[in-house]
Amino acid sequence: MRAAKILDRVFFERAYSHLALHEAFREHPLADVDARFVTEVVYGTIKRLNTIDDVLGRVMKNPLQKTDRRVKTILRMSVYQLLFMDRVPERAAIHEGVELAKTWGRGGLKGFVNGVLRNVARQGLPDYRDLADPVKQLALSTSHPEWLVRKWMHAYGEAETYAMCEANVERAYTTLRVNRLQTDRSTLQAGLEADGVQTTSGNLAPDSLIVTKGQALHSEWFKKGAFSFQDESSMLVTYALDPQPGMRVLDACAAPGGKSTHIAERMEDDGEVLANDIHPHKRALIAEQAERLRLKSIHIQTSDAAEFSANVEAESFDRVLVDAPCSGLGVLRAKPDIKWKTDPKEIETLAALQLNILEAAAHALKPGGILVYSTCTIMPAENEDVIAAFLQTHASFEPDDTLDARLGLKAERGQRLIFPQQYGSDGFFIAAMKKRGGQA
Ligand SMILES: C[S@@+](CC[C@H](N)C(=O)[O-])C[C@H]1O[C@@H](n2cnc3c(N)ncnc32)[C@H](O)[C@@H]1O
């Protein structure tokens, strides 16, 4: 019932799954094992949505769209359990669907739910390799919208797109960033272990830990500021920026503060990080993290970064970060709703905003300073194209060819695209540029 109610909000009230889950668990906490099951059913059903609807379309006489709202949700989540969750026995998935129809859906339709689910169980998952169109084939076998598969195939080819889509339907895991001002990786690892949280070292970033068992959020180590939750690709952005103690750093799009706090930690909390964001209500998010991590060098500002020429002083920062608002198509494992909610037309609007912010933020950088642009999306229009347009009209900037040494990863012309299938981390784009003149 819990999963059904959350999914109903996501499907019909446009709620975001991670927020809907968070609220539901806050209002009525569940035992860990039950919470894990509900989470998997919710994320899994959303991840596999078009495939599930295709399967239902093959066994139903009337279109799914005409089905009662709650019954539709019950059918979708039951099909997910039947076809994608090995540990749920077939009989249990059907029984639970029918019971839900009685208690939460429409009792009169319990026979219908039973019949549809039995048919799905009998027919199993279709073999989409039979489809002649490779876009349709990939869209249905890996559960992505066709427009996105088409764009990715065009940009990265069939094999890379296939690998990316496969990675996007895997389960997301939790990664922690050690606060080196409070502790070190092995002390934290041992401390978490004592709290029942098991971890291993991350694949990319030096201060990262991947949670393999337990809930790190409940650990005292979190409250006392020994770590933050952050994806490893996201951590690499701060290494790209290379902040040093005593510097002034501008984080143009800072909320909820993941990178601002990392920058302050890397600077040993010595200097100034101006954490700017357009939304006044997000000030508290940044302040809360800075306080928990006991960081004093972060100052919060609320303003439109596209208007920085009016509200930050020119050439006054040693480092400028633009972690731009983006379509988020690199984080589909953790936020699968994005692939269904994104309108491809939004990409152009976002790209224009990203270039505006980058241009306005760049004016705040001192000569010799480093400008980093990053997104958590895999979409050339929001990444490489934005940098190309910027460099074309800003002759005082050049690609930073030393980026690879700072990332520990191959980068070309100061740019690195990280696919989600490469290291198990989020899909990310990072570009570093230097402003000519001055001292680096
Ligand atoms: C990708 S998120 C930043 C994440 C953050 N850097 C972190 O690591 O926690 C992008 C942020 O840009 C903010 N934003 C959107 N448009 C903006 C603008 N015109 N000026 C400043 N911030 C903006 C959003 O509120 C959002 O918090």
Catalytic hit among 376, 378, 386, 433: 376
Q: Is the CB of 282 under 6 A from ligand 1?
A: yes
pLDDT at position 214 is 87
d(CA 272, CA 316): 11
Write phi, then psi, for 28 (nearest 5 degrees). -135, 90
Q: Is the CB of 254 under 6 A from ligand 1?
A: yes
Co-location of 155 and 180 in the same domain: no
> In this structure, are residues 12 and 72 in contact, taking their beta carbons and an 8 Å threshold?
no
Neighbouring residues of 241: CB distance < 8 A, sequence distance ≥ 6: 249, 263, 319, 321, 370, 372, 432
Co-location of 290 and 372 in the same domain: yes
d(CA 204, CA 236): 8
Q: Is the CB of 325 under 6 A from ligand 1?
A: yes
Paired with 298 in beta bridges are 273
Co-location of 102 and 245 in the same domain: no
107 is in an annotated binding site: no
54 is in an annotated binding site: no
| Residue that has been written with the tokens 């501008």 in this structure | 250
Q: Is the CB of 256 under 6 A from ligand 1?
A: yes
Question: Does residue 198 belong to any structural domain of this protein?
Answer: yes
Question: Does residue 129 belong to any structural domain of this protein?
Answer: no
Mean pLDDT value across the chain: 95
Co-location of 372 and 415 in the same domain: yes
Co-location of 151 and 105 in the same domain: no
The residue whose CA is least distant from atom 19 of ligand 1 is 304
Q: Which of 116, 148, 168 is the last residue of a domain?
A: 168
Q: Which of 213, 229, 245 is the last residue of a domain?
A: 229
Question: Does residue 393 belong to any structural domain of this protein?
Answer: yes
pLDDT at position 433 is 98
pLDDT at position 439 is 58
Distance in Å, CA 254 to ligand 1 centroid = 5
Question: Does residue 440 belong to any structural domain of this protein?
Answer: no
Co-location of 277 and 394 in the same domain: yes
438 is in an annotated binding site: no
Instruction: Let me know the angle formed at the C-alpha of 272 by 266 and 277, rounded to the nearest 5 degrees.
Output: 95
Question: Does residue 348 belong to any structural domain of this protein?
Answer: yes
d(CA 81, CA 86): 8
CATH number of the domain that residue 111 is part of:
1.10.940.10
Co-location of 350 and 238 in the same domain: yes
Ligand 1 atom nearest to 251, measured from its CA = 6
Question: Does residue 130 belong to any structural domain of this protein?
Answer: no
Co-location of 295 and 399 in the same domain: yes
Question: Does residue 251 belong to any structural domain of this protein?
Answer: yes
Tokens of 277: 């964001």
Co-location of 425 and 336 in the same domain: yes
Paired with 431 in beta bridges are 373, 415
Distance in Å, CA 122 to ligand 1 centroid = 48
Q: How many domains does one find in the chain?
A: 4
pLDDT less than 50: residues of the chain: none
277 is in an annotated binding site: yes
Q: Which domain holds residue 271?
A: 232-435
Co-location of 311 and 373 in the same domain: yes
CATH number of the domain that residue 296 is part of:
3.40.50.150
Question: Does residue 152 belong to any structural domain of this protein?
Answer: yes
Burial class (CB in 10 A: 0-12, 13-18, 19+), 226: buried
254 is in an annotated binding site: yes
Co-location of 197 and 106 in the same domain: no
Distance in Å, CA 59 to ligand 1 centroid = 44
pLDDT at position 33 is 81
> In this structure, are residues 276 and 254 in contact, taking their beta carbons and an 8 Å threshold?
yes
Q: Is the CB of 361 under 6 A from ligand 1?
A: no
> In this structure, are residues 420 and 427 in contact, taking their beta carbons and an 8 Å threshold?
yes
- Model-level pTM greater than 0.80? yes
CATH number of the domain that residue 199 is part of:
3.30.70.1170
Q: What is the ipTM of this complex?
A: 0.99
112-158 pLDDT per residue, tens: 999 999 999 999 999 999 999 999 999 999 999 999 999 999 999 99
Q: Is the CB of 304 under 6 A from ligand 1?
A: yes
410-426 pLDDT per residue, tens: 999 999 999 999 999 99
Per-residue buried b or exposed e for 96-124, using 16+ beta carbons within 10 Å of the residue's own CB: bbbebbeebbbeebbebbeebbeebbeee
376 CA to centre of own chain = 7
376 catalytic? Reply is yes
> In this structure, are residues 164 and 199 in contact, taking their beta carbons and an 8 Å threshold?
no
Co-location of 394 and 297 in the same domain: yes
Ligand 1 atom nearest to 258, measured from its CA = 9
Per-residue buried b or exposed e for 155-193, using 16+ beta carbons within 10 Å of the residue's own CB: bbeeeebbbbbebbbeebebbbbbbebbbebeebbebbe
